[in-house]
Amino acid sequence: MSYKPRWNKNTFIFGGAAAWALLLVGCVMADRTMVAPPTVAGATFVGSEKCSQCHDGITSKFHDASHAKMMAPGDNAKDIGCESCHGPASLHVKSGGGAGTISNPKNSPETCFQCHLDKRGEFNLPSTHPVMAGKMGCSDCHNAHTGDAVLEGSTNMDTTNSSCLKCHTSQGGPYVFEHEASREGCVVCHSPHGSVNAKMLKARNANLCIQCHFQQQTAPGVIMIGGRDHASFLSRGTCWSGGCHEAVHGSHVSSSLRF
């Protein structure tokens, strides 16, 4: 008989604990479907407490991790926490960490997709980070074991940027003429999981820039942006192509981010 995961839809719906109610609301609001942790043939869940015997370095910091907040008090706590990503660990614990007794997602996104279903779609869009190709993992940008899952804190865009700048040093400046847009985060213009537009851009045309550089229009046939009529410029291409504002990330020579 094949191993049946102990988590099913009912576990989530009838979990009982208040925390689950909250989590469920969160999930519904975020329009995500919860599925199941990985499976390990023949093993059952033992709870995160057990892991601290041998992996204290990880368990001692786990309490403030985004995914630790999924843990509910009481009996339910057994099934979630560490084992939500690593699968049921009874055989692993019994064998003192024997090879092949636990799931290690490493760079593979499959474990994450089990709960974050929408992300599989995003990483299959035409422009994306090479996660499906195995050249990068979700954990290059996300912490599984400690702190905010969005590296260095999702609420502070300056530090979210620094996680991008680890790999994309040239977009970080410092520039003589900085584009203040980047202070709000690389993600105001880029969708790091993927996009239908080239370079993972959130919009393929002037709309990308108009989200901040919008100006009330007063005369017909005139498109005022930054105090100048852009009607004829906009017919030439995007704001950043065609020799206008090619230095979107910042410039050393041009205050209008021309090059």
From candidates 15, 163, 194, 230, binder to ligand HEC by CB under 6 A: 163
DSSP conformation letters of the chain: -PPPPS--HHHHHS--SHHHHHHHHHHHHTT---------TT-----GGGGGGT-HHHHHHHTTSGGGGG--SGGGGGGSSHHHHH---HHHHHTTS-TTSS---TT-SHHHHHH-HHHHHHTTSSB--TTTTTSS-GGGTB-SSSS-SBTT-TT-HHHHHHHHHTT-GGGG---SEE-GGGGG-GGGTB-TT-BSSGGGBS-SSTHHHHTTS-----STT--EETTEE-HHHHTTS-TTSTTSS--TTEESS-TT---
152 is an interface residue for ligand HEC by CB under 6 A: no
138 is an interface residue for ligand HEC by CB under 6 A: yes
| Residue nearer to ligand HEC on the CB measure, 73 or 97 | 97
From candidates 19, 40, 43, 46, binder to ligand HEC by CB under 6 A: 46
Nearest approach, Cβ of residue 188 and ligand HEC (Å): 4
Stretch that binds ligand HEC, among 8-16, 183-191, 214-222, 229-237 (CB under 6 A): 183-191
From candidates 13, 41, 54, 117, binder to ligand HEC by CB under 6 A: 54
Interface map 70-99 toward ligand HEC (x if CB under 6 A): x----------xxxxxx--x--xx--xx--
Q: Which two tokens stand for residue 174?
A: 């410092």
204 is an interface residue for ligand HEC by CB under 6 A: no
From candidates 8, 33, 104, 215, binder to ligand HEC by CB under 6 A: 104
Stretch that binds ligand HEC, among 8-16, 71-79, 171-179, 229-237 (CB under 6 A): 171-179
184 is an interface residue for ligand HEC by CB under 6 A: yes
Residues 1-20 that bind ligand HEC (CB under 6 A): none
